[in-house]
Amino acid sequence: MKKILVTGGAGYIGSHTVLALLEKGHEVIIVDNFSNSNPESIRRVEKISGKKVKLYTCDCCNLDEFATVFKENKLDAVIHFAGLKAVGESVSIPLKYYQNNLISTLNLLELMKQYHVYNLAFSSSATVYGEPKSVPIFEDFDLHVSNPYGRTKLMIEDILRDFSKVNPQFNIALLRYFNPIGAHASGLIGEDPNGIPNNLVPYITQVAVGKLKELGVFGNDYPTPDGTCIRDYIHVCDLAEGHVCALDKLFTNCGLVTYNLGTGNGYSVLEVLRAMEKAVGKPIPYAFKPRREGDIPACFASPEKAYKEIGFKAKYSIDDMARDAWNWQKNNPQGYAK
Ligand code: NAD
Ligand code: UD1
């Protein structure tokens, strides 16, 4: 049993990972400022697991407040989810993204060093690959980013690589997530976006539940079999397991490691729509729209390295992901607000 600090633990991926950690018998401490989440998610994680979580309502950008967490707890590792993630908003308000994502991470590193906590898993993103030269994408591909959100992820990766060179006692996992979707099978926790969703699956589920009129499919003239973009959708519970595997690796004193967390399978927008229609049991209205700026035709992981080195293999299918995304949405049409 280890004592794990989870920053951003009330969020979408964080809440599912906290649950996975509790189920493995770890003790979890969450730090969250609820800028994009609701404390109800933590209550529900406690309900599902039958275990308690220690919560600090705190902004990781506030060094003094954040330090209290380290003073009061002898931690074994940190999983750092806290961050802002909306690509479009990062283009309109770049400083907010640089401030929040970079300062929170710099504070975290200072505190980890000061309090001798040497194991860190960081939420990076497949966005650091930009438009890849080919698919599947391997971890050693060139990195390039095209928006402030993506730049914060790449900058933090660079910071961590620099930091690791001169702090060899640190073990750091850079985890590059592909497209997390779905929800815990209980239907009690899931993705609860603010306002109109930017991402595909929450948009579809909100159309299915009657909150939005129709899905706009961004582009049907891409060089893909059906003309719509291809992505590597991964069940959020698989992603949560990926963190458990990565933590085990950190405890082997591995230094800095980098892993894709994806399934290795690519599905087009229309294929996801069909899977969602099957889960919902009725057609979902949609219309083709122009391409969305910044979208790339195809993006999917090589999951080989994560499998070989940390034994991670995604087990849920696209139909499982669709079923669980719908189960969450239909049970919680207003997200955590109700
Ligand atoms: P989320 O917004 O649901 O969770 C992030 C959590 O961090 C929220 O609870 C938010 O309130 C909290 N937070 C933000 N800034 C904070 C701060 N300064 N101090 C304390 N808490 C703070 O997002 P998510 O989908 O769970 O993503 C988690 C991480 O994974 C993020 O870093 C995100 O960039 C990264 N990521 C997400 C995706 C995705 O598709 N969801 C893909 C790749 C990477
Ligand atoms: C997006 C971000 C990425 C971020 C990830 C997780 C962009 C360009 N990329 O990835 O940086 O890490 O979310 O937050 O924003 N689609 C539609 N209609 C919609 C919504 C999406 O057709 O209403 C299509 C998109 O064109 C894309 C696919 O669905 O082809 C998936 O989109 P989305 O869920 O937003 O994920 P990404 O764009 O892959």
Half-sphere exposure of 327 (CA within 13 A, CB side): 15
The contacts of residue 89 (CB under 8 Å, 6+ apart) are 96, 97
43 — pLDDT class (breaks 50, 70, 90): very high
Angle between helices 40-49 and 12-23 (to 10 degrees): 20
Average pLDDT for 215-232: 98
Residues in the chain: 338
Ligand 1: centre distance to CA 227 (Å) = 31
Which of 229, 232, 236, 286 to probe ligand 2 with, by most ligand atoms within 8 A of CB?
A: 229
147 lines ligand 2 (CB under 6 A): no
**pLDDT score, position 332:** 97
217 lines ligand 2 (CB under 6 A): yes
125 lines ligand 2 (CB under 6 A): yes
Ligand 2: centre distance to CA 135 (Å) = 17
CA distance 181 to 197: 13
Ligand 2: centre distance to CA 85 (Å) = 12
DSSP 42-61: HHHHHHHHT---EEEE--TT
Ligand 2: centre distance to CA 164 (Å) = 32
Average pLDDT for 133-155: 97
Angle between helices 269-280 and 318-331 (to 10 degrees): 60
**pLDDT score, position 34:** 98
pLDDT at 2 over 70: yes
Backbone angles phi, psi at 239, to 5 degrees: -60, -40
The token pair that represents 250 in the structure block: 């950190």
CB 32 within 8 A of CB 6: no
Picking from 110, 125, 123, 124, the residue whose alpha carbon sits closest to that of residue 167 is 110
Ligand 2: centre distance to CA 26 (Å) = 33
Nearest CA to ligand 2 atom 16: 200
What is the residue type of 254?
A: C
Which tens digit of pLDDT belongs to each residue from 108-120? Answer: 999 999 999 999 9
Average pLDDT, the chain: 98
What is the residue type of 165?
A: K
Of the listed ligands, the closest to the CA of 206 is 2
CA distance 90 to 6: 23
H or E element in which residue 180 lies: strand 179-181
Of the listed ligands, the closest to the CA of 196 is 2
pLDDT at 300 over 70: yes
Residue 307 annotated to the active site = no
Of the listed ligands, the closest to the CA of 290 is 2
pTM over 0.75: yes
pLDDT at 338 over 70: no
H or E element in which residue 231 lies: strand 230-231
Which of 231, 267, 273 to probe ligand 2 with, by most ligand atoms within 8 A of CB?
A: 231
For the chain, how are helix, strand and coil distributed in percent, rounded to 5? 40, 20, 40
Average pLDDT for 2-17: 99
CA distance 237 to 191: 12
CA distance 112 to 267: 39
- Tokens 């400022």, located at residue: 33
Q: Which position among 12, 97, 118, 149 bears the catalytic label?
A: 149
Which tens digit of pLDDT belongs to each residue from 247-269? Answer: 999 999 999 999 999 999 999 99
**pLDDT score, position 38:** 97
What is the residue type of 218?
A: F
Which tens digit of pLDDT belongs to each residue from 75-113? Answer: 999 999 999 999 999 999 999 999 999 999 999 999 999
pLDDT at 299 over 80: yes
54 lines ligand 2 (CB under 6 A): no
CB 119 within 8 A of CB 251: yes
CB 59 within 8 A of CB 36: no
Q: 3-class SS at 293?
A: coil
Q: 3-class SS at 134?
A: coil
The contacts of residue 270 (CB under 8 Å, 6+ apart) are 217, 226, 228
Residue 125 pairs in a beta bridge with 177
CB under 6 Å to ligand 1: residues?
Answer: 7-8, 10-14, 31-37, 59-61, 81-85, 100, 104, 123, 125, 177, 179-180
Ligand 2: centre distance to CA 113 (Å) = 36
